[in-house]
């Protein structure tokens, strides 16, 4: 079953076309990379999927159902979660509270019950904390639960965002440059973490990244965007040697020195 399908997706902002006629399919359980130079429209596509923008044309199908006209919070309820390019943590809250806000979605109790703090509310609160701690443990932040979120170093803030998104129990996870600002070692560690949670939670992942090592390591398929239109699609290896992609990223006149593949 296809977890996500975009058909002819187009978004115009006044005179600017952020993306045009984008069609892609992600089967259940796949990790797909979405790459392209800055300004190519990648985050716009995320914003369209999550309901922040309404498409100007085309459709978005999630689990076979059309997503347009839904509010972002309704889309989250269907099982879509995302992280942000410029980290959007609840900075004044603790690390634990940040994840709890995600975990809250799945332990429901009514407002009336909350106001008088019925016993089952207390039980649910313990369950929420327990679940939140689990997700923190997955990303390795459980010892920092009580710290304010903005006191964390940058790399750990990204991990916190991931834990928070996981707490929503999504089926589709959209990661917007999770390795941004990390050195190669940290990036590969993050890639390993992403692969682990992918397997553990049975996620389908759409990943925007500029760190090619992360993309190559994780992504079964890669979709390349340039100036809002599709440039190429294929496996990681195919994309790496695609001349159009190379030209878009590296400009004309680029020659791959000592290309062993050419010799075979």
Partner 1 sequence: MAAYITGIIIFSLIAVIATVGLAIFTGFTGLFSLGHAAFFAIGAYTAGILTYFYDVNFFLALFAGGLMSGFVGLFIGVPTLKAKLRSDYFAIATLGFGEAVRVLLENLNITQGARGLPGITAATTLPVAFAVAALVIWIARNFVRSRHGRAAIAVREDFVAAEMMGINLFAVRLSSLVFSAVCCGVAGGLFAHYVCFIQPAMFTAYLSTQLTAGVVAGGMGSITGPVVAAIIFVAVPEALRVANIWRLVAYGLLLVLIMVFRPQGLFGYRELSWKSFRHIPDWLKAWRKSGNRRAKL
The tokens 């190429």 sit on which residue? Answer: 232
Q: Check residue 84 for interaction with partner 1 (CB under 8 A).
A: yes
Contacts of 4 (CB under 8 A, 6+ apart): 24, 25, 26, 49, 60, 61, 62, 172, 204, 206
Q: Check residue 76 for interaction with partner 1 (CB under 8 A).
A: yes
Q: Check residue 2 for interaction with partner 1 (CB under 8 A).
A: no
Site stretch for partner 1 (CB under 8 A), options 4-12, 112-120, 152-160, 216-224: 112-120
Among 57, 117, 256, 259, binds partner 1 (CB under 8 A): 117
Among 158, 164, 171, 211, binds partner 1 (CB under 8 A): 164
Q: Check residue 123 for interaction with partner 1 (CB under 8 A).
A: no
Site stretch for partner 1 (CB under 8 A), options 37-45, 57-65, 122-130, 185-193: 122-130
Q: Check residue 156 for interaction with partner 1 (CB under 8 A).
A: no
Cβ contact 248:36 at 8 Å? yes
- Cα 107 to the center of its chain, rounded Å: 23
Taking every pair of Cα atoms in the chain, the longest distance, rounded to a whole number of angstroms, is 75
Cβ neighbours of 150 (radius 10 Å) = 12
Cα→Cα distances 110→79, 104, 159, 251, Å:
21, 12, 31, 57
List interacting residues with partner 1 (CB under 8 A): 50, 52, 71-73, 76-77, 81-82, 84, 88-94, 96-97, 100-102, 104-105, 107-109, 111, 114-117, 121, 124-130, 133-134, 137-138, 145-146, 148, 164, 168, 200
């Amino acid at each position: 079953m296809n977890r996500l399908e975009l058909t002819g997706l187009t978004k115009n902002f006044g005179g600017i076309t952020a993306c045009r006629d984008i069609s892609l399919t992600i089967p259940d359980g796949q990790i797909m990379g979405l790459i392209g130079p800055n300004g190519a429209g990648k985050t716009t596509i995320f914003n369209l999927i999550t309901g922040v923008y309404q498409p100007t044309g085309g459709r978005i199908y999630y689990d076979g159902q059309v997503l347009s006209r839904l509010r972002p919070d309704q889309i989250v309820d269907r099982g879509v979660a995302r992280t942000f390019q410029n980290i959007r943590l609840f900075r004044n809250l603790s690390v634990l509270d940040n994840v709890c806000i995600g975990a809250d979605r799945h332990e429901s109790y009514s407002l009336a019950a909350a106001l008088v703090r019925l016993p089952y509310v207390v039980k649910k609160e313990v369950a929420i904390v327990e679940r939140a701690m689990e997700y923190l443990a997955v990303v390795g932040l459980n010892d920092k639960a009580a710290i304010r979120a903005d006191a964390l170093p940058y790399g750990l803030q990204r991990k916190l965002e991931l834990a928070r998104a996981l707490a929503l129990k999504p089926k589709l996870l959209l990661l917007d440059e999770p390795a941004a600002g990390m050195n190669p070692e940290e990036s590969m560690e993050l890639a390993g973490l992403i692969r682990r949670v992918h397997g553990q939670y049975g996620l389908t992942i759409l990943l925007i990244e500029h760190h090619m090592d992360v993309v190559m390591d994780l992504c079964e398929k890669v979709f390349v965007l340039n100036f809002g239109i599709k440039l190429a699609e294929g496996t990681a290896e195919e994309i790496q040697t695609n001349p159009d992609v190379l030209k878009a990223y590296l400009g004309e006149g680029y020659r791959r020195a000592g290309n062993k593949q050419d010799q075979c």
